[in-house]
Chain A
């Protein structure tokens, strides 16, 4: 209906100030929508990167061998294999799994590790530490060790150890010093301190030490295999699906980060709900604003509608004229609001360059297309009532008014 469009545009341009105000009102609603999307999205990403950005997104753990029980057909227990006191569970075939896991879509890094407990001794001082053996070359695959180094280097090699600032302070350690690391299994070795990091995480900074995988093999008497494989994903939210896929592929015990992160998920969910709530209000405001403005215009133009009806315009034509006005207002307001929202988000630092203390706005999560689409749909919805009122105008009374 080209002609209905022409008339709709004419009506909108006939009262420019009024239309401009209406479009501006819609744009403000869309602006709020875009701003909220960017804020809620950015905040969620920020919180996630702060909490789980440095941890494994998907972890494969060596299954603790459960006591195996052999039961006779009559129900008697014939034999029980006791759970080993020492580590019995290993991912012996790790070497074959890793290329397979690396090929899974969405996997950005894979880190085979040997973990265990140990004691760090320097002179008379002793500290209990958790030891992680990392494959040289993959030191920063999961925890970004490289990025957190304050002294020395993250690079691990045979006879080297890297540990946190707090632990170094506690034991008054300096780069290049030699210390003794004894594993819970009793194996001990002399290591040289080659790097000190500070992650901001108290646990890691005060009790974690990193050695190379070969060193860990010696310490934990594990000539082959690993105790866990940590996997980092491109998309945090894909952890559940990816874990399932890897489990299907390898048959191993694969755990996504979301297991046991219920509180975090609840908090993020509540935050998202708040966002939906505010965005819905922005949309409702738009719908009410457009509906009332168009209803007013319908009333003001009653005589004209009467004339058009007398001249042979059908009810459908009148409906299209008013719905088109609504759609145009929605489109203009939507484009303007989304544009203004984008401009307003430009000064905020990008996700990578984010500084604490400001709002973690993410310009890429403005939901611009969704905002415009929903606004146009909302405005069309809003114009249905006025359009129907217009179509019902009785030409006789309208013209004789």
Chain B
């Protein structure tokens, strides 16, 4: 296995002066290609902050961040937008789907926004992904009418749409009951095994974390275990 993502000496400070909050204090972490990793740590320890930086949605105050050999700290907004689109998938806890669009429209979004239109090829892939997530019957459903578990599975399908190397999931099962959470995790494990997609999943749930092959614990702004 080779290193897919590497962060070193990552520092993130919010605010400045007296009110400054140092959330990450020199965190280093390497994710190997094909890993399925759980990100653990107490609330406020900086898990979401780390995922956001890894997802290129925010820049660190200090430290280095590279992925696929690209220095992502130096890149500008335009380059990062394209990089994100091609190489990184996201699953969030809330506000995951575009509410006025159907399940399929949500899934094909990452491809359509890059190509300027929804192509037939993109739709075919979107349908396949939804079928794989057990949502073949819900393809043209408005997302507002889906259950919480179904929404998260649509989000996973969308995260996979552009065949990214890395999928970042911030408490993807945080809002789901045990059965729905297990279903989502089973699908993630399956994709990880079959396609070799690298996953980093933050969670408070030991049971979920135990389904991942590697566990990373964050505390006091650094990796503690």
Contact = CB atoms under 8 A, between A and B. Distances in A.
Interface residues of A, number: 26
A117 interface: no
A304 B94 CA distance: 11
Interface in B82-119: 82, 84-86, 90, 92, 94-101, 109-110, 112-118
A397 B44 CA distance: 15
Given A310-B55, A312-B86, A2 B116 contact: yes
Contact of B95 (A1, A3, A306): A306
Contact of B85 (A6, A303, A311): A311
A312 B78 CA distance: 9
B82 A312 contact: yes
A6 B116 contact: no
A6 B118 contact: yes
Nearest to B55: A310
B114 A312 contact: yes
A315 B80 CA distance: 12
Interface in A287-330: 303-304, 306-315, 317
Contacts of B98: 304, 307-308
A317 B117 CA distance: 12
A365 B57 CA distance: 55
Given A311-B85, A312-B84, A400-B48, A10 B57 contact: no
A320 to B, nearest CB: 10
Contact of A310 (B90, B100, B101): B90
Contact of B112 (A3, A395, A400): A3
A119 interface: no
A77 interface: no
A10 B85 contact: no
Given A395-B57, A396-B52, A309 B100 contact: no
Contact of A396 (B57, B100, B117): B57
Contacts of B97: 307
Contacts of A395: 57
A3 B101 CA distance: 13
Interface in A167-221: none
A86 interface: no
A97 interface: no
Nearest to A304: B98
B116 A10 contact: no
Contacts of A311: 84-85, 90, 109-110, 113, 158
A303 B94 CA distance: 9
A3 B100 CA distance: 15
Interface in A1-31: 1-3, 6, 10-11, 14
Contact of B78 (A10, A308, A314): A314
Contacts of B90: 310-311
Given A311-B158, A312-B84, A312-B85, A304 B117 contact: no
A6 B113 CA distance: 11
B77 interface: yes
Interface string A92-113: 0000000000000000000000
Nearest to B92: A399
B117 A2 contact: yes
Given A310-B90, A311-B158, A3 B82 contact: no
A401 interface: yes
B67 to A, nearest CB: 15
A387 B97 CA distance: 21
Interface in A364-401: 395-396, 398-401
A3 B116 contact: yes
A98 B86 CA distance: 80
Given A395-B57, A400-B48, A312 B113 contact: yes
Interface string B139-164: 00000000000000000001000100
B166 to A, nearest CB: 13
Nearest to B110: A311
B95 A310 contact: no
B187 to A, nearest CB: 19
A10 B55 CA distance: 28
A76 B203 CA distance: 116
A14 B101 CA distance: 9
B81 interface: yes
Given A3-B112, A303-B94, A312-B110, 7 more contacts: A307-B98, A312-B82, A314-B81, A315-B77, A396-B58, A400-B48, A400-B94
19 contacts: A3-B113, A304-B98, A308-B98, A308-B113, A309-B57, A310-B57, A310-B90, A311-B113, A312-B82, A312-B85, A312-B113, A312-B114, A313-B113, A314-B81, A395-B57, A396-B57, A396-B58, A400-B48, A401-B95
Q: Which 8 A-B pairs have the closest CB atoms?
A: A312-B85, A14-B100, A303-B95, A2-B117, A313-B113, A311-B110, A314-B81, A395-B57
